[in-house]
Amino acid sequence: MGVGVLRAYKEFLPITDATPMISLGEGDTPLVKSNRLGKELGCTELYFKLEGCNPTGSFKDRGMVVAMAKALEAGSTAVMCASTGNTSASAAAYGAFCDLPTYVLIPKGEVAMGKLAQAMAYGAKILMLNGNFDSALFLVRTFTSRHPVTLVNSLNPHRLEGQKTAAFEIVDALGDAPDFLFIPVGNAGNITAYWRGFQEYHDAGFSRKLPRMMGFQAEGAAPIVRGEPIANPQTIASAIRIGNPANWEGAVEARDSSGGVIDMVSDDEILDAYRLLASKEGLFCEPASAASFAGLVKLHRQGLNLAGQRVVCILTGTGLKDPDLAVSSVASQATEVEPNIEAIEAAALLVTAKS
Ligand SMILES: *Cc1c(COP(=O)(O)O)cnc(C)c1O
């Protein structure tokens, strides 16, 4: 469609005659069928939803466009968010598009380079906090409760309304909901939004079934799995490095009413999945995104039978967000060569013979 989520799913969104129908071209992302990894897992039908194809490279744009449109409608003069990176990149882009000053509070030293570059390029006012994401979110909540500045974290209900459109797209593409939906869980807004989207589409008669919601946290940042907030969450996957999720109850509700799970994967499992997706499927996502596929691999190893099942893994953001990690975590494939054809032939044929 390419018209943006406000126009594409108008009747399911909180849109009035006064809502500006803005768009940076978000949504309508590809649902790619696995060519290799699904077979290895005995999964007949495995798909990846490429949310990294959104305008700022993550699913955050789906919710941000709705939050920004509603902020404009309400006459807001500035917006603010706390962020592990992608929310700030998205807020900054839509803030620039809408001419709304955008303040982003990010934990110092914890945001991947690509995301920081985006917030800077789009011209957000960046506040670097000597603290983690959870303390940033607390401060943003306090600030926006005292000043006429709109909070655009996923506590803003319009964010989840926009994010649920990804579930609609999956049903539109497949003709029904999948049997399983695998998704990373950080602040838990996205799993909450998907579940709402699947339910609303089901109630509207667009799907016959509902998926089991399979959410995955990182082992060092798994408050929902462990049943208590984590004071110092640690994981290589910075987008899900969250110790006290704002939408905790939404995730638990999605799990329980869908017959799903909220489980965790280690950083090694995340990195393995990250490398497999890129090298065996041509899908370069960010580490947090790979937690969904890492979860599928883990459950397969534990004996989950995927034969005849239709499975969708959400790849929440693009791998280009974190180039440093890509370069440092993949064994170097580069061979140095002299600039002559003999050297190229010798090197290329050697590589071909090896593989
Ligand atoms: C925000 C984000 C997540 C986590 O989503 P929540 O709604 O916070 O659970 C996962 N992956 C990426 C790439 C993100 O930007």
CA distances from 293 to 49, 81, 146, 154, 175 (A): 11, 28, 41, 24, 23
Cβ(162) – ligand 1 distance below 6 Å: no
Cβ(299) – ligand 1 distance below 6 Å: no
Q: Is the pLDDT of residue 353 over 70?
A: no
- Give me ligand 1 centre to Cα 240, in Å: 6
Cβ(166) – ligand 1 distance below 6 Å: no
Q: What is the mean pLDDT of residues 72-84?
A: 96
Torsion sign over Cα 87, 93, 97, 99 = positive
pTM: 0.95
Specify whether the CB–CB gap between 292 and 59 falls below 8 A. no
- Of 87, 90, 137, 185, best ligand 1 pocket probe by most atoms within 8 Å of the beta carbon: 185
Q: How confident is the model at residue 354 (pLDDT cuts 50, 70, 90)?
A: low
CA distances from 346 to 336, 341, 343 (A): 12, 8, 5
Instruction: Give tens-digit pLDDT for 216-250.
Output: 999 999 999 999 999 999 999 999 999 999 999 99
Beta strands 125-129 and 150-151 are unpaired
- Give me ligand 1 centre to Cα 19, in Å: 26
pLDDT of residue 336: 87
The helix (run of H) or strand (run of E) holding residue 349 is helix 341-354
Cβ(187) – ligand 1 distance below 6 Å: yes
Q: How confident is the model at residue 329 (pLDDT cuts 50, 70, 90)?
A: confident
- Give me ligand 1 centre to Cα 188, in Å: 8
Cβ(240) – ligand 1 distance below 6 Å: yes
